[in-house]
Structures are given as structure tokens and as C-alpha cells.
Amino acid sequence: MTEPLRPSQVLDALRPIVDPDFQKSIVDLGFIKDLKIEDRHVSFAIELTTPACPVKAEFERAARERVGAIPGVGNVAVTMTANTRQAARGAGGGSQMASLPGVRNIIAVASGKGGVGKSTTAINLALTLRDRGAKVGVLDADVYGPSLALLTGAHGRPDTTPDRKIMPLYAQGLKLMSMAFFMTDDSPVIWRGPMVHGLIKQFLTDVKWGELDYLVVDMPPGTGDAALTLTQMAPLSGAVIVTTANDLSLIDARKGLQMFEKVGVPILGIVENMSFFTPPELPDRKYYLFGQGGGERVARELGVEFLGEVPIDPRVATDGDVGRPIVVSEPDSPSAVAFRDIAGKIARKVARLAIESPPVADANITWVKH
């Protein structure tokens, strides 16, 4: 007579599966939940630290194979879940810090100067996180040059609730908020600092974001009043710096990075956008039009992670101009692949910061299962 299966056998089979970020077994990390054994049938959940985990499929395959190889096991059911934990927030704003109930992580996408593709990077990263199962919102904080409406095809004026909260628009599977949704023509926004400060505060405190795993903030370019207001008021989990490889952009990227460091916001890494061009007829060639390796060099010098290169692709601009970002319009293109790889690194780094940092004292934040 065959001995009944024991939970310890299943856990021992799963123990060799190691999370690459924490360098520990998923068993020792407590990722295995709801383990049940019924006759020859084994079921359990693997509870990850983010629904956007890029190795989710690898974990599921390895777990199914390892448990299925135990003598006596007939069927294996693996459920992939996630508990998105809130990372520690930047503390530079002190009493000014806004509270966003239900928003677990806020990621700033910034650049030291305009024209490096910051907004395009922000929306493509947000869409990639959405595709991996996360609940994502995007705040277009570039008051003077809002681009979210163009990049997503979202139009219309947001509704308000009876308690005077602003409801974000919903498009491309994302919750969206932008100054562009309140503009009625193409007139330029001509505001002084205090007015910009008030609008940013309103976007942070009066928008009803609901439950989000990630709120991606498309920061204003540079390190002026608007950008500084956001770093002081938004409880940021981390910042991504977007640059090109030329020296002028890199100089400004350093300034942006230093701004976040001064207010205690972790730097998630540097993205080098428009890194190289590959002609369709020469798929093995790379032409570095703005110089080569600048982003990686600055990341190394400043001791932050280099998240990757995004190649030049004319479709990024043409498709984005009609509200179809490249990860949607051309998901197999080199640029889309690069954005997916970078988004995976960001999700993993935010999750690691959340585990390694002290818990956030906020009664509104709960662990949410997806």
C-alpha cells in the first residue's frame, strides 16, 4: 500500500526554486500558500510580491514539474497570486506629504531635460505593468506640456463625485489623469509657481484613484518648481531617470537624480532611450546616433542600476501620436521588448525595496490579493 503524500514532501520538492531577487527559496520566503493534498491531487498557490513579476511563468512551470515528479502525485494545480506590499515612501515633504489611500506604490519617471522620451517611456512602462496583471494608473504631472491624452487616445472631462473627488479617465486598461483633460483648446498653459503647486496638490489629494498596485507619475522635465513640488508632496516609492546617451542629456540626468536623492527617494535606475538605430535592411547593425554607453557609464559612476537601452524606432512616434504606444501596436518590436524587460526590473526592485524596508505606518494600506 502506497503511503499517503505529506505536505513536507511537496515543500521539499519546491524548495530548490529560488527567487532571483532575494536569493532565497520560495518556500523559505513564505510564498507557498493554501497547500492541499487530496488523495493523489496536490494544489497550492504561489503568492508573489508583485503581480508584475517577470519570472511568474517560470515559477509556475518549475513548481508544476517538481511536484508532478513526486512518486504518487497524479494531478498538480498551481495558482499564481500576488500581495503587493507598499514600499517605504520618500520623506522629503514632511507634513506636506499627500496621502493616497489604496495606492501601494508610486513610481516617478523623470528626466533632467525635455525631448528624451520621458512621457513615451512612462506610458509604455505603465502598459507593460498592466499586461502583467497589475492595477496601474498614470498621472501626467507635466502641467505645461501634457501629453497623456495624445499617447493614450483618452479624451473628455473627468467626472466628480458627490464629495468633490475627481474621477480619473479610463483608457488602455489604465486610470489616467492629466491637465490635458481640463483644457478646451490648444492655448498654452501660462501659470506661475503657486498655481502649479496647487494643481499638483489637487491631482495628488483630490483624485479618486482607488486600488492601484502602481501609480506611474510622468514628471515635469528638469528640476524646477513643479518637479520639486512633486518630490516633496508625492509619497514616491522610487524614481526612474530617462536620458539619451549624449553629454548634455547626461549632465541634466545627474541633476534630476540628485534632486531625488536629496529628498530621500530611492533611484530605481537609469533608462537610456533612443539608444541606437537598426535599419530594417541591416538587422545585425547598430548605429549609435547620440553616442554609445553614456547611460550605463553614468549609472555606474553614480552607483545606481542601469535598467536598459531602448532603440530608436520611428513607430514609437507615429503610433504614439495616434494613441497606440509601441507595446500595444508592435508588441514584438525591439523597443517593446526593451520596455518589457525594463518594467520587469522596476517591478522587482520596488518589491525588493518593500520587503527590505520597514513597514509603512498607514492604516489605509492593506495587503491585497489578486
Model confidence pLDDT, tens digit, residues 289-327: 888 888 898 888 888 999 999 999 999 989 988 899 999
Whether residue 360 has pLDDT greater than 70? no
State the chain's mean pLDDT as an integer.
Answer: 85
Whether residue 364 has pLDDT greater than 50? no
Whether residue 114 has pLDDT greater than 80? no
The predicted structure's pLDDT at residue 366? 33
Domains assigned to the chain: 7-82 (3.30.300.130), 94-356 (3.40.50.300)
Q: Specify the higher pLDDT residue, 3 or 20.
A: 20
- The predicted-structure confidence for 320-349, as pLDDT tens digits, reads as follows 888 999 999 999 999 999 999 999 999 999
Please name every residue paired with 110 in a beta bridge, in sequence order, or none if there are none. 241
What is the pLDDT confidence band of residue 233, given thresholds at 50, 70 and 90? Answer: confident
Mean pLDDT along residues 264-283:
89
The predicted structure's pLDDT at residue 189? 55
Q: Specify the higher pLDDT residue, 149 or 363.
A: 149
The secondary structure of 293-357 as a DSSP string is: SHHHHHHHHHT--EEEE--B-HHHHHHHTTT--HHHH-TTSHHHHHHHHHHHHHHHHHHHHHHHS
Sign of dihedral through CA atoms 128, 129, 134, 135?
negative
